[in-house]
Structure 1
Amino acid sequence: MIRVLVVDDDFMVAKIHSGYVSRVDGFEVVGVAHTGADAVVAADELRPDLVLLDIYLPDIDGMSVLRQLRGRPAADPDVIVITAARDLDTVRGAIHGGALHYLIKPFSYEALRERLESFRSLHRTLADLPGDAPAAQQDVDRLFGTRARGVTPPKGLSSETSRVVEDILRERSTAGGDLSATECADATEISRVSARKYLEHFVESGRAEVRLRYGGTGRPERRYRWL
């Protein structure tokens, strides 16, 4: 079992996230902390494999907790940041601090499940590698490849098409625009229904956002932008 410590200042949110974790095969919640200081102590005592770390804590911020965890040889768990913070400084800080993923609140169970399953895949890859022998290049490629894949598309969506849709959405967003499912379908030559499934998957996994554009009549148009 992969042991998880949940850190969030909101008692109800921490309970919800703990419930999400418990629903994923191979994971168990071994502790919950509501302050940064308690998180560091809990990590030392419980030795979790993974910490779900909020940024906004009442005593010290999550970035400080992340740095402390990285500087303590007794407990050096992997970390998934879960926060409402969207500013690039915080995102960069999480990356530089060694966080595996960055999940923006609010998020669905499916979004967290995908990241946990990605971590489980990484965890298993590490366990399969021989610990007493030098790593071969193919072993290193396998390990970093597992980590780089991040969130994989759910059943029914292909990785190849997902990358094509992602590239188009990224390009449009970098230019300051957004994309509708119809425009995405025209650019990728897939059906509008399929295009919307991929775009909604990016929203569910926290990599894109959707906004409603209201016109004169009819239903509002859903416009997507890469985060």
Structure 2
Amino acid sequence: MIKVLIVEDDARVAHNHSSLVEAAPGFTVTGIAHTAAAALSSIERQRPHLILLDLFLPDRSGMELLRTLRGSERTKDEGLVDALVITALRDVEHVREALHNGAVHYLIKPFSLSALRDQLERYAAARSRLQHTGEATQSDVDSVVGLLRPATNRSHSKALASPTGRLVAETLRQAGTDMSATETAERTGVARVTARRYLEQLCTDGRAALNMRHGTTGRPEHRYRWVQ
């Protein structure tokens, strides 16, 4: 279960975000903090995996909190806390600084709740991918980065550069559910390794998302779904 701390000074917004997180499979809310001081205390006690971080806080800015977390000896010993920044600040310097300080993504208010839900799903998929990968390949790294920070310019997709890639993408899009590489290969008539290569590239492009299905035995199954 992925533990999430909501750091937001607006009680109504915090409640909305909390409800959405609780409704997302595999996530649970450990608490809500309305100040940076309360956030640090909650992180120390509850050790969440992810914080939804507003940059406007009454005692300190969320950016200062993010820098504090990245410079903390505690996080080095006990594991880093990931942060998804949620803010109305739009200037590029804030975006650059947030990403430089380790934010997994930067959501600009106002946004639809589906956008936040999508980011949670991407985070869960990327986290699962890393947890079940031993020695990472470049494909693993590209896939995780593509999940966390999907390309904003999706017109130039390597996956869609070939007829086979377009066939795999269209098959996944029309499926309406997640599919494995084997299922995709059966529907398209291409080799499984080829199907998986294009599915991984679709994830890197931000057009698809990776989910891990855990069975009773063996390694988890890689499942792919089209991102609307």
Q: Separation in 1 of the partners of 2:63 and 2:142? A: 24
Q: Which runs of 5+ in 2 are unaligned?
A: 158-228
Deviation at 1:150, TM superposition (A): 3.6
1:141 to 139, 149, 157: 139
Q: Separation in 2 of the partners of 1:145 and 1:114? A: 16
Q: TM-score, normalised by structure 2?
A: 0.62
1:163 corresponds to = 154
Matches within 5 A, 1:77-116: 77-116=81-120
Instruction: Give the superposed CA RMSD.
Output: 2.2
- The 1:99/1:59 distance shift into structure 2, 3 A limit, reads same
Deviation at 1:108, TM superposition (A): 1.6
Deviation at 1:20, TM superposition (A): 1.1
Q: Separation in 2 of the partners of 1:27 and 1:147? A: 21
Q: Separation in 2 of the partners of 1:122 and 1:97? A: 19
- The 1:74/1:97 distance shift into structure 2, 3 A limit, reads same
Q: Which amino acid is the alignment partner of residue 81 of structure 1?
A: V
2:199 corresponds to = none
Name the % identity.
Answer: 43
- The 1:73/1:129 distance shift into structure 2, 3 A limit, reads farther
CA offsets 1:57-103 (integer angstroms, 9 cap, x no match): 00100100001111224342100000111111111110110100001
Is 2:55 the counterpart of 1:55? Answer: yes
Q: Separation in 2 of the partners of 1:151 and 1:126? A: 15
Deviation at 1:147, TM superposition (A): 2.1
Q: Separation in 2 of the partners of 1:42 and 1:141? A: 36
1:179 corresponds to = none
Matches within 5 A, 1:194-213: none
Q: Which runs of 5+ in 1 are unaligned?
A: 153-158, 167-227
Q: Separation in 1 of the partners of 2:145 and 2:35? A: 29
Is 2:127 the counterpart of 1:123? Answer: yes
Give the match's secondary structure for 2:55. coil
CA offsets 1:180-217 (integer angstroms, 9 cap, x no match): xxxxxxxxxxxxxxxxxxxxxxxxxxxxxxxxxxxxxx
- The 1:73/1:144 distance shift into structure 2, 3 A limit, reads farther
Q: Separation in 2 of the partners of 1:56 and 1:165? A: 36
